[in-house]
Amino acid sequence: MLGRPRRAARAAIRAVVTDVDGTLTDATRRLDVRAIRAVRQLEDRGIPVLLATGNVLPIALALQRSLGISGPIIAENGGLLYDPSARPPRVERFADQRIALAAYRAVRRAGIPARRLVTDRWRETEVALEPGISVNRVRRAVRELPVLVESSGYAIHLMERGVGKLSTLHHALERRGLTVGECLVLGDGDNDVPMLRAAGFSVSFASGSPRAQRAARYVSRAEYAAGFVEGLKASGLVA
């Protein structure tokens, strides 16, 4: 039900994991100042914020530094993990882009008019296609390959099967002595569903995908970043 938690959080929340597009932004993908203030309030209280995005690492890293976020970055849907606490900070790869590229070629051979995002020039582990084509057609075209096809609402992602935001989040949290059950997760896309299901408390939005809404424990009445702030208030982390 909109604006109501489906069940209580299982444990005290020690970290916040958030998607970016449609979560920290408005409908036009502009950062929302209300979300910026909320993120800084969390960090000022000693609650680390982790970004988990389908976007490329250069964009996510710029956001992390501009927002003053201390947690790791999960980029490319879990294909990359950037750990700022390592000395020196390091980037780890969890997927083989050659598999995604083979899938893209299969999609093109199937006659699907797929076009790669301009940001693919910086992608290291997956291929992201412009939305507007049938996800089911793409899945049929690559069914013989070990490829996962996911929609974020902003792109269709092709990546090695078995990799995702949740699996990489486990790696990031384990090094800090944390579990997903101690996290608040906020997201709006199908690619956020596994994290939303596993979290101690999870939030999706009125603007979220149907699958994300079903997976979340709380669905905000507000859309986009306004829903992000509403969800943080519902969790009790911000006033």
Question: Contact, 134 vs 114, CB < 8 A?
Answer: no
CB 153 within 8 A of CB 167: no
Secondary element (H or E) of residue 18: strand 15-18
- C-alpha angle 12-15-18 in degrees, rounded to nearest 5: 125
Annotated active-site residue 19? The verdict is yes
Angstrom distance (rounded) from CA 154 to CA 131: 6
Tokens of 211: 């699958």
Q: How far apart are CA 168 and CA 163, in angstroms?
A: 8
Of the candidates 213, 224, 220, 215, the residue with the CA atom closest to the CA atom of residue 234:
220
For tokens 């997201």, name the residue: 187
* Catalytic residue from among 19, 83, 188, 192: 19
* Residues 6 or more apart in contact with residue 210 via CB below 8 angstroms: none
* Helices and strands, counts by H and E, the chain: 8, 11
What DSSP string describes 54-86?
SS-HHHHHHHHHHHT--S-EEEGGGTEEEETTS
Residues known to be catalytic:
19
